[in-house]
Amino acid sequence: MAFGRQRSAEEEPDKAKAIPEAESQPIVQAATQARAAGRRIFTCAVTVGSSTGSGIGLGAGRIKRRDAGPLIEEIESLGWRLERLDHVWEQTEHTTAMHAAVIKGITVAHMQFRIADSA
């Protein structure tokens, strides 16, 4: 018996692209400002995936992933340490036609950073 989710033919798990600069740079700027303001904790959220799936079990789903690693590394280079990372799936659309449902959603990474120990 197989455990876990089966991948569709359209899913490319090893080809996740980095978060686009237009989305990552405002987060990095906010981390820089929080550090300059003396904050000890910084939180942010970024979309790291999207999915479309059929509710009739035909495996007609599509998943796109984005790599948050470069963003995390850049924030940590500012003196923050990643303390917590949670992924939350949020439904964005639900369509029903002819007894079949199509559900779309995004996966959001919620990150909590703390000032890194300088020891």
Task: Find the domain containing 100 and state its range.
Answer: 18-115
**Predicted pLDDT at 57:** 57
Q: Which of 19-33, 45-59, 93-107 has the lowest mean pLDDT?
A: 45-59
**Predicted pLDDT at 119:** 43
pLDDT reading at 54 higher than 50: yes
Cα distance between residue 5 and residue 97, in whole Å? 25
**Predicted pLDDT at 1:** 34
pLDDT reading at 33 higher than 70: yes
pTM (2 d.p.):
0.77
**Predicted pLDDT at 6:** 47
Helices then strands, counting H and E runs in the chain, come out as 2, 5
- The answer as to whether 2 is a domain residue is no
- The answer as to whether 6 is a domain residue is no
What's the CATH number where 87 sits?
Answer: 3.30.110
Digit-coded pLDDT (tens) for 55-114? 655 556 788 999 999 999 999 999 999 999 999 999 898 888 777 778 899 999 999 999
Averaged over 35-56, what is the pLDDT? Answer: 90
Looking at the structure of the chain, the number of domains it has is 1
**Predicted pLDDT at 56:** 59
- The answer as to whether 52 is a domain residue is yes
- The answer as to whether 10 is a domain residue is no
Q: Which of 1-15, 28-42, 79-93 has the lowest mean pLDDT?
A: 1-15
Judged by DSSP in three states, 36 sits in helix
For the beta sheet containing 100-115, the strands, ordered from the edge strand earlier in sequence to the opposite edge, are 17-18, 62-67, 41-54, 100-115, 80-97
Cα distance between residue 17 and residue 33, in whole Å? 26
